[in-house]
Amino acid sequence: MKTNNKLHPVFNYILGCIEHEGTNEEKLKEVLNAFNSEFNFEQNKKRYPNLQTRFAEWLQGAPSLFEVEYWNDGIIKLAKEWQSIPQDATEKQEQKILDNYYNFMACKFFQLCTRNKVSYSNLY
Per-residue confidence in pLDDT tens, the chain, 124 aa: 444 445 679 999 999 999 999 999 999 999 999 999 999 999 999 999 999 999 999 999 989 899 999 999 999 999 999 999 999 999 999 999 999 999 999 999 999 999 999 999 999 9
Domain ranges, residue 62:
9-116
What are the φ and ψ backbone dihedral angles of 88, each rounded to 5 degrees?
-105, 40
User: How many domains, in total, are found in the chain?
Assistant: 1
Residue at 87 is within a domain: yes
Cα angle: 77, vertex 24, 113; to 5 degrees: 80
| Position 93, amino acid | Q
Residue at 4 is within a domain: no
